[in-house]
């Protein structure tokens, strides 16, 4: 089954991509095999919204893949098969039995841009012995060409909408 998604409240804007930090409210259902029984919520007293880096395997697969398809402000119910949840081990401390199907009601509260500036993009690259040639494109797309003195490798860094970077490399 993987993930079944039901949108409860539509969001807006772009969807987060792998590597971004996402902050969500979440309520999990499926305690003792009953999908109407809550086992945990960030809205419970003493709890806070949960932040994680999407697409990096730091959370269950259902969250990684399901939240990546959600927009800012969106609330959705994700039904996750056992292999997208806690699998054969379950999570006994929360009353999650082995091989349980689980429901999660998730609201995307915020996500951080991958990189806010070319400076951050350059920090992301290995720039030892590189020559930077600036290039600005019209509109919301910005770019810069970086040439390596070692082997003269080109790297073109593109910033789209201030949010997404694409780094391409080739030898000259």
- Enclosing H/E stretch for 64: helix 61-68
Q: Which of 79-83, 105-109, 139-143 has the lowest mean pLDDT?
A: 139-143
What's the pLDDT at 165?
45
Asked whether residue 19 carries a pLDDT value surpassing 70, the answer given is yes
pLDDT band at 156 (very low <50, low <70, confident <90, very high): low
Same structural domain, 80 and 131: no
- Tell if the pTM clears 0.75, that is, is over it: no
Same structural domain, 52 and 107: yes
Tally of CA atoms within 13 A in the half-sphere of 135 that contains its CB: 15
User: Which is higher by pLDDT, 151 or 74?
Assistant: 74
Same structural domain, 101 and 131: no
Task: Give the domain extent around 162.
Answer: 118-171
CA–CA dist 56, 35 (Å, integer): 27
Residues 6+ apart with CB under 8 A from 55: 17, 18, 19, 64, 68
Same structural domain, 19 and 98: yes
Task: For residues 145-161, give the mean pLDDT.
Answer: 50
């Amino acid at each position: 089954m993987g993930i079944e998604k039901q949108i409860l409240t539509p969001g807006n804007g772009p969807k987060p991509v792998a590597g971004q930090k996402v902050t969500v409210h979440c309520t999990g259902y499926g305690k003792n095999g009953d999908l109407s029984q809550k086992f945990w919520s960030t809205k419970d007293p003493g709890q806070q919204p949960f932040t994680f880096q999407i697409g990096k395997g730091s959370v269950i697969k259902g969250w990684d893949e399901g939240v990546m398809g959600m927009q800012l402000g969106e609330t959705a119910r994700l039904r996750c098969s056992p292999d997208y949840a806690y699998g054969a081990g379950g999570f006994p401390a929360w009353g999650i039995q082995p091989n349980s199907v689980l429901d999660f009601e998730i609201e995307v509260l915020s996500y951080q841009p991958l990189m806010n500036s070319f400076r951050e993009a350059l920090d992301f690259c290995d720039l030892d012995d590189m020559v930077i040639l600036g290039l600005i494109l019209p509109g919301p797309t910005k770019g810069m060409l970086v040439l390596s003195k070692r082997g003269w490798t080109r790297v073109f860094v593109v910033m789209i909408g201030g949010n997404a970077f694409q780094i391409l490399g080739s030898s000259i």
